[in-house]
């Protein structure tokens, strides 16, 4: 996952299990990366879903980074927030409604 956090809520804190920032962060500002287990909770006023991103039990070829967090992450194209990415599909079914601009998650 990657995060653009201009207010410093997340990226400015020291995280455990630090990793070298990927090459693609060279166009971003003030980044740090971690392979620590990340707990995610997404929701609205009706309900929420929570899950963990943990690559420690995956095959060695795909084990590693769980979060790349920056003050300004260039991949977010000027938007603040987090891209939960395809890694979230390991724990959830994801339904994207492009017409109504909605995303639905259901635990696997």
Instruction: Please give the DSSP secondary-structure letter assigned to residue 37.
Output: -
pLDDT tens-digit readout, 51-74: 888 888 888 887 888 899 999 999
Strands annotated E in the chain:
2-4, 18-19, 29-34, 38-43, 48-53, 67-72, 81-83, 92-97, 102-107
Task: Give the position of tokens 């991949």.
Answer: 75
pTM of the model: 0.78
pLDDT < 50 stretches in the chain: none
């Amino acid at each position: 996952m990657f995060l653009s956090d201009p207010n410093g809520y997340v990226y400015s804190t020291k995280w455990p299990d630090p990793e070298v920032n990927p090459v693609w962060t060279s166009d971003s500002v003030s980044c740090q990366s971690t392979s620590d287990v990340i707990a995610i909770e997404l929701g609205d006023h009706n309900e929420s879903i929570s899950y963990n991103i943990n690559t420690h039990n995956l095959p060695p070829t795909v084990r590693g980074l769980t979060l790349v967090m920056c003050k300004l992450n260039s991949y977010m194209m000027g938007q603040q927030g987090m891209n939960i990415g395809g890694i979230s599909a390991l724990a959830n079914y994801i339904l994207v409604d492009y017409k109504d601009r909605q995303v639905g998650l259901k635990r696997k």
